[in-house]
Amino acid sequence: MKLYISRMILGVFLLSTQFIFAQNLSKNQFKVKGNCEMCKERIENTAKKAGAKTANYSIDLQTLTLETDNTISTDDILKKVAEAGHDNEKFKATDTTYEALPGCCHYDRDLQPKATENHEHHSKKENEFYVKGNCESCKARIEKAAKDAGADSAEWNAEKQMVTLNFDPKKTSSDKILKKIADVGHDNEKYKSNDKTYKNLPSCCLYDREIPLGEANPKVHFEEGIQSEHSGHSDPGNSNEENNQDHHQKTIEGVTVTGGKSATSISKKEAGLVFNIDKKELLKAACCNLSESFETNATVDVSFSNAVTGTKQLKMLGLDQKYTSLTKELLPEIRGLASAYGLNFIPGRWIESIQLTKGGSTVTNGYESITGQINTELLKNAEKPETSLNLFSDFNGRAEANITSVSPINEKWSQTFLLHGNGTFGDTDMNDDGFLDRPKGTQLNAAYLLNYNDLEKSGLGSHFGINFIKDERTSGQIGFDKKIPQDEQSLYGVGIDISRFQIWNKTGYVFKGKPYQSLGWMNQYTYHQQDSFFGLRNYSGKQQTYYSNLIFESILGNTNHKYKAGASFMYDGYDETYLTNNFKRNEIVPGAFAEYTLTGLKYTLVAGARVDFHNLAGTQFTPRLNFKYDFTPQTILRLSAGKGFRTANVFAESQQYFASNRNVQILQNGGNIYGLKPEIAWNYGASLQQEFKIFGRKSTIVADFFRTDFQDQVMVDLDRSPQQLTFYNLERKSFANSFQTQWDFTPFKNFEVRLAYKYYDVQADYLDGRREVPFMAKHRGFVNLAYSTNKNNNGGFWSFDTTLNLVGKQRLPNTSSNPEEFQLPTYSESYAILNAQISRNFNKKIRAYLGGENLTSYYQKNAIVDFKNPFGNYFDGGMVYAPIMKANFYVGLDVTF
């Protein structure tokens, strides 16, 4: 009996001990950086050795869950984890330990420890409490709930994720207030909101419930205040969440006040398919101007269009650049008479970022976009004065210099000076045909930007800009003297002189107490003059354009329902002379538009329409629709449909064919623009964006398909005769199908890979039957590799970049009626182009680079038909399908003061 009682007492004692011990265990979760299964094993083993009873690390959530007893300090465990090489919210690993980790374990070191260097914890005051939220709407809701619960005052800080309360303890309590805050949808340190209330919050207020209380919310910098709408993105609530902006960005429609982002990213929040290209991406190539800014981008195709003038053109979705809206600061830029050479007027070193939208863009930015929009933002953001000098030279006589200076004047005003000069002085003739492969000449380009930002107080922001360009080019046969009239010398020459002046202003106002409501007004005046000759042919033109756009933005009930409405006005005055024929016209286009954005938990719908009263093209109705559905945060489907229209500038847009013997013929059909009707097209698109991890790192695949159907089109017919350039309106069908798949991934630290494949099917019904549109390869491949070394203590590192473009065969215009020696094959050859660059950042101030273009040295032989007889019947410099220059090398230097 005694033995039995003793065993009972011992059993009760053991059970009690286990129960007491279990009661002393506590569970905590901490942010810890890691990449792969090796990281997981290392972190968990280290934590257990440091005293944790259990340790579970989640790679996806980047969290370590610890179970410890009260005798073990979680700080001691996290310190050991840091000593093993893994940054966490309390301690940071040493650089030596981090670098010693295997390559697959090198995570991005963007997590800052909460503790200071001596590891003292932040202590909040008695009246401060952690409350989760995202934006200004959250702030208003939290503070109102607190006051409704009896607080005398409440101030919620988004960055600290903390509310400061002042209340009379006799009337209410912190528990009562925090309970009320949870009831309206906001988790806090004492109460958690129920799931139904949380899910009914507006989409901009849906904070991440997995982030530990008190930790910085990454959405705060993107969703607070009025959000940016760069480049007419289809979703007007563009917050660019994935871009990890360096500074807080607060904007109104068309007026960007501050901001910055890194690399190239696909916006996950946009309803449309939008690529954000940062100036860091532009440094991967020579990028002397906008035409060279897409060498590392798979979406845009860049090609030479004339062997005499060396002109470059962009193509997107299988169609010429004239069907893409090209804007600067969201204002119309490369259009009209600037179509042929406008890409040379935006220097690469002036560019802060580019936003590229595939398919129909927002109706708020006009009616001309058919295949998409490319918007360029100029340098204008700086917290402290920064002046940069760029010097560039290639090995064939081209030199450039850029000076950019961005500086704050005071708290509200900042200014930017931009200066560019270039010159091409060498006689480059790599194919020995006696013609220059690119024009010689100079360009002087200067701009001044002035910015005012008082959005936080008065709600007012404004941006002013002025730009002047003088560009002079000479091309043709080597030895041609531009000073001597063409009819007095036997050598063939081309002269192109352009003067351009622009002045613009964008002003916006955010209504006080209503951060979701704003008014923006944009105005721009452009004067463009071109005087040119192509052998014995002359072409000159003047264009004056005034553009105005007024946009009001607000909500219907809550931020799930946003709308924009406004009015625009466009005036284009053209005065052109070709040979002895003069063409004058004035296009006057008042318009009105409205756009509605519906945002749900997993979807965004943007529906818009505009009506424009064109004095020559008649009344045009332009609807556009974009829809995005997030199956998961990593799987995104987008659908789009929209209409666009434009008036064709047949002379300015076809100058690549002027250096030839072709006679221009316009088959008029009763229209009011050169006797032709406007171009009208529908564009439909679908894309699927999928993110996943490979090699323990983020990877993204995007597949998209777009179709463009022309309701009417101005056909440029090169097939009727090799001696004719014929324009006429489409009578039947014209379409372009574009399919692209792109894969971005990082096999190991600092090494980025971008692979893409494109398929184009572009056909049109010409007068004599359906044919493939010439100079368009059906198949294209793209490979971009980028590697950089780790930064040293001075901020120095090496970068290595290379891009391979594979271009399939292209249909060439019919030249069968020419003599045999001047006939082109039906299809061109396939070819590959390789570009590469090595750069060295010695520190944060000095960078040098060396690069090569077309390193495969593939070039089009006999790019000029009948080059020996430029004044004869068969001469043609516009039959270009490939580079006309062999490998070219360049060097450059960037210095920041």
Q: What is the pLDDT of residues 130-147, one digit of tens each?
A: 999 988 788 889 999 999
Q: Distance of alpha carbon 161 from its chain centroid, rounded?
A: 30
Model confidence pLDDT, tens digit, residues 451-486: 999 988 899 999 999 999 999 999 999 999 999 999
DSSP letter assigned to residue 489: -
The H-or-E segment that residue 82 falls in is helix 74-83
Q: In angstroms, rounded to a whole number, what is the distance separating the alpha carbons of residues 254 and 75? A: 48
Return the SS3 of 279: helix
Residue carrying the six token digits 């971008």: 754
Model confidence pLDDT, tens digit, residues 817-876: 999 999 999 999 999 999 999 999 999 999 999 999 999 999 998 899 999 999 999 999
Cβ proximity of 366 and 332 under 8 Å: yes
Backbone angles phi, psi at 654, to 5 degrees: -125, 25
Q: Which CA distances in Å does 835 have to 279, 528, 786, 806, 817? A: 18, 34, 12, 12, 38
Neighbouring-strand partners of residue 570: 547, 589
Decide which of 38 and 230 is more confident: 38
Q: In angstroms, rounded to a whole number, what is the distance separating the alpha carbons of residues 300 and 319? A: 10
Q: In angstroms, rounded to a whole number, what is the distance separating the alpha carbons of residues 149 and 180? A: 6
Encoded tokens for 10: 């011992």
Residue 471, C-beta contacts closer than 8 angstroms, at least 6 positions apart:
341, 344, 345, 441, 442, 443, 444, 445, 496, 497, 498, 499, 500
Q: Is pLDDT at 795 greater than 70 in this prediction?
A: yes
Q: What is the mean pLDDT of residues 210-233?
A: 52
Give the pLDDT band of residue 355 (cuts 50, 70, 90).
very high
Q: Is pLDDT at 15 greater than 60 in this prediction?
A: no
Encoded tokens for 365: 């930015």
Provide the pLDDT for residue 312: 80
Model confidence pLDDT, tens digit, residues 280-325: 888 888 888 888 888 889 999 988 777 777 778 899 999 999 999 9
Give the pLDDT band of residue 239 (cuts 50, 70, 90).
very low
Decide which of 886 and 137 is more confident: 886
Cβ proximity of 601 and 199 under 8 Å: yes
If DSSP states are collapsed to H, E and C, what string results for 195-206? HHHHHCCCHHHC
Q: What single-letter amino acid sits at 319?
A: L
Write out the DSSP string of 641-667: EEEEEE---TTGGGGGGTSBSPEEEEE
CB atoms closer than 10 angstroms to residue 706: 25
Long-range contact set of residues 487-494: C-beta below 8 Å, sequence gap at least 24: 487/536, 492/435, 492/535, 492/870, 492/871, 493/533, 493/535, 494/308, 494/309, 494/439, 494/532, 494/533, 494/534, 494/535, 494/659
Encoded tokens for 65: 């869950």
Model confidence pLDDT, tens digit, residues 162-204: 999 989 888 999 989 999 999 999 998 888 899 889 988 887 7
Model confidence pLDDT, tens digit, residues 707-732: 999 999 999 999 999 999 999 999 99
Residue 779, C-beta contacts closer than 8 angstroms, at least 6 positions apart:
757, 758, 759, 806, 808
Give the pLDDT band of residue 110 (cuts 50, 70, 90).
low
pTM of the model: 0.77
Q: Which CA distances in Å does 438 have to 422, 481, 491, 533, 642? A: 14, 16, 16, 16, 39
Q: What is the mean pLDDT of residues 479-500?
A: 94
CB atoms closer than 10 angstroms to residue 806: 16
Q: What is the mean pLDDT of residues 565-572?
A: 98
CA angle 294, 295, 299 (to 5 degrees): 55
Provide the pLDDT for residue 630: 93
Q: In angstroms, rounded to a whole number, what is the distance separating the alpha carbons of residues 110 and 108? A: 6
Give percent of the chain above pLDDT 70. Answer: 90
Neighbouring-strand partners of residue 738: 706, 760
Cβ proximity of 517 and 555 under 8 Å: yes
How do strand 714-717 and strand 724-729 relate by DSSP bridges? antiparallel
The H-or-E segment that residue 393 falls in is strand 386-394
Write out the DSSP string of 809-862: --B----TTS-GGGPPPSB---EEEEEEEEEEE-SSSEEEEEEEE-TT----TT
Model confidence pLDDT, tens digit, residues 39-63: 888 999 999 999 998 998 988 778 8
Q: In angstroms, rounded to a whole number, what is the distance separating the alpha carbons of residues 496 and 138? A: 57
Q: Is pLDDT at 241 greater than 70 in this prediction?
A: no
Long-range contact set of residues 551-554: C-beta below 8 Å, sequence gap at least 24: 551/253, 551/254, 551/364, 551/519, 551/520, 551/521, 551/522, 552/518, 552/519, 553/226, 553/236, 553/252, 553/253, 553/516, 553/517, 553/518, 553/519, 553/520, 554/514, 554/516, 554/517, 554/518
Provide the pLDDT for residue 123: 53
Q: Is pLDDT at 103 greater than 80 in this prediction?
A: no
- What is the rounded average pLDDT for all residues in the chain? 87
Judge residue 461's burial from the number of C-beta atoms within 10 Å of its C-beta, 0-12 exposed, 13-18 middle, 19 or more buried. buried
Q: In angstroms, rounded to a whole number, what is the distance separating the alpha carbons of residues 620 and 380? A: 36
Report which of 490, 462, 458, 491 is spatially closest to residue 474, judged by C-alpha positions: 491
Q: Is pLDDT at 244 greater than 60 in this prediction?
A: no
Provide the pLDDT for residue 587: 98
Round the CA-based radius of gyration of the chain to a whole number and report it. 31
Give the pLDDT band of residue 691 (cuts 50, 70, 90).
very high
Q: What single-letter amino acid sits at 438?
A: R
Report which of 567, 547, 546, 556 is spatially closest to residue 610, judged by C-alpha positions: 567
Provide the pLDDT for residue 220: 65
DSSP letter assigned to residue 103: G
Give the pLDDT band of residue 604 (cuts 50, 70, 90).
very high
CB atoms closer than 10 angstroms to residue 178: 24
Direct distance between the N- and C-terminal alpha carbons of the chain, in angstroms, rounded to an integer: 93
Q: Is pLDDT at 389 greater than 50 in this prediction?
A: yes
Q: Which CA distances in Å does 334 have to 322, 370, 457, 657, 761? A: 9, 15, 36, 19, 26
Q: In angstroms, rounded to a whole number, what is the distance separating the alpha carbons of residues 402 and 419? A: 6
Decide which of 496 and 282 is more confident: 496
Model confidence pLDDT, tens digit, residues 751-762: 999 999 999 999
| Lowest-confidence pick of 20-29, 249-258, 554-563, 686-695 | 249-258
Q: In angstroms, rounded to a whole number, what is the distance separating the alpha carbons of residues 212 and 210? A: 6
The H-or-E segment that residue 49 falls in is helix 37-49
Q: Taking the alpha carbons of 437, 439, 442, 446 in that order, is the dihedral positive or negative?
A: negative
Give percent of the chain above pLDDT 90. Answer: 67
Provide the pLDDT for residue 295: 86
Residue 483, C-beta contacts closer than 8 angstroms, at least 6 positions apart:
none
Provide the pLDDT for residue 368: 95
Give the pLDDT band of residue 639 (cuts 50, 70, 90).
very high
Residue 603, C-beta contacts closer than 8 angstroms, at least 6 positions apart:
627, 628, 629, 630
Provide the pLDDT for residue 262: 42
Q: In angstroms, rounded to a whole number, what is the distance separating the alpha carbons of residues 694 and 698? A: 7
Provide the pLDDT for residue 310: 74
Provide the pLDDT for residue 232: 34
Return the SS3 of 224: coil
Provide the pLDDT for residue 287: 82
Q: What is the mean pLDDT of residues 647-653?
A: 96
Q: Which CA distances in Å does 783 have to 70, 751, 754, 776? A: 55, 13, 6, 19
Strands of the sheet with 301-304, listed across from one edge:
301-304, 312-316, 319-320
Cβ proximity of 450 and 504 under 8 Å: no
